[in-house]
Structure 1
Amino acid sequence: MKTIIIGGGKVGSNLFRTLLEKNHDVVVIERDKETCLKIAEDTNAEVICGDGTNFDVLMDAGIDEAEIIAAVTGTDEENLVICQIAKFNCNAAKTIARVNNPKNIQMFKTLGIDNIVCSTEVIANLIECELDKNKYRIVSTIERGSMVIAELIIDAANEWRGKMIQELSMPEECVIVSVLRDSFVIYPKGSTEIMDKDKVLVVASRAALSEITRKMNKRKI
């Protein structure tokens, strides 16, 4: 499997080294000559000095044989152009784009980019989770981080306590998967009652999770 990385900055160069260490077939494209020389000296691997938005440069890198294209430059517009060229002109199997401005995420999704990575959003989500750590715990993320598997901790202040699942008001983008009570796992039904100290496992969008935790902790003890 061949991978082409466009952008030899900190993100791109570290990604390049990591893949090389795992014996992947990988090439990096970087427009700055000094950066190219440094990467080549450090890795003793193939580095192409050129503009990653230039079709001829991409062809020289072997884009017609690549299965994964990772555009990780510091410019969102450049990463978008690269991924679109790869996707629609070269039939690349997978495109991965770094997004610096979270406001551009939806546009990238709409335009068909397969995987989108936004470090700003990731850090913001980690901070939000830490601030709300007494309300829930993120178990895993899916769909490139847009959905989460979370464990909601039920206590005396939680409005879900004492209610049956069929009585709960939940957003559409949320499903209760299981209820952990002591050492038992309960597969929920509409008549399942949520009790104090239960841990409720849900799959939800981040927006839905924020809505749930905001509402369910309004109740006074």
Structure 2
Amino acid sequence: MKIVVAGGRSKADFLIGSLLEKKHEVTVINDEEAYCRYLSEKYNIPVVVGNPCKRYVLEEAEIDHADILIALRPGDPDNLAICQTAKKNIPCGTGSGNRFQSQKCFCLQKARCKYGHIRNVYDCKDY
């Protein structure tokens, strides 16, 4: 699957590694240029520097070709804005909080909503 990860730092880093182990195609959007450079060098993946709340940044990450978008900004309002901006036919997930193990996400597809652990978002059967 083609998965876009928007925002996040350690959560994003861990999730990207897990997704790549499962042979998913991952693109990252982050507004911190130095962190983007780090992720690009570590994983050799496409990285877009910019605010994922902006449609033109999502378009640069080819969001319309993604199977899933995972928004990992620190605040839920940002994550909701990212998902609302990106959501056409793309399932979106959000996560925030202090402990990764307690992270939750919303896996959205069409009118249905599924709630699960973010580390298992790529295992959602609806995709």
Pairwise TM-score range, normalised by the shorter structure: 0.7 to 0.9
8 A Cα contact 2:71 2:95, kept in partner? yes
Moved over 6 A (4+): none
Q: How big is the shift at 1:43?
A: 1.0
Pair 49,61 (structure 1): closer, same or farther in 2 beyond 3 Å: same
Q: How big is the shift at 1:75?
A: 1.5
Q: Secondary structure at the match of 2:59?
A: helix
Q: Tell me which residue corresponds to 1:5.
A: 5
8 A Cα contact 1:29 1:49, kept in partner? yes
The Cα offsets for residues 55-81 of structure 1, whole Å up to 9 and x where unpaired, read as 011011111111111001111111010
Give the count of matched residue pairs: 109
Aligned Cα root-mean-square deviation (Å): 2.7
| Letter matched to residue 91 of structure 1 | N
Q: Tell me which residue corresponds to 2:125.
A: none
Cα distance in 2 between the residues matched to 1:7 and 1:113: 24
Q: Secondary structure at the match of 2:63?
A: coil
In the alignment, does 2:85 pair up with 1:85?
Answer: yes
Q: Tell me which residue corresponds to 2:50.
A: 50
Any gaps of 5 or more consecutive residues in structure 1? 120-221
8 A Cα contact 2:8 2:74, kept in partner? no
Cα distance in 2 between the residues matched to 1:79 and 1:113: 18
Q: Tell me which residue corresponds to 1:36.
A: 36
Normalising by structure 2, we get a TM-score of 0.73
Normalising by structure 1, we get a TM-score of 0.44
| Letter matched to residue 44 of structure 1 | N
Q: How big is the shift at 1:91?
A: 2.2
| Letter matched to residue 85 of structure 2 | I
In the alignment, does 2:76 pair up with 1:76?
Answer: yes
Larger % of helix: which? 2
Q: Secondary structure at the match of 1:51?
A: coil
Q: Tell me which residue corresponds to 1:64.
A: 64
Q: Secondary structure at the match of 1:26?
A: strand
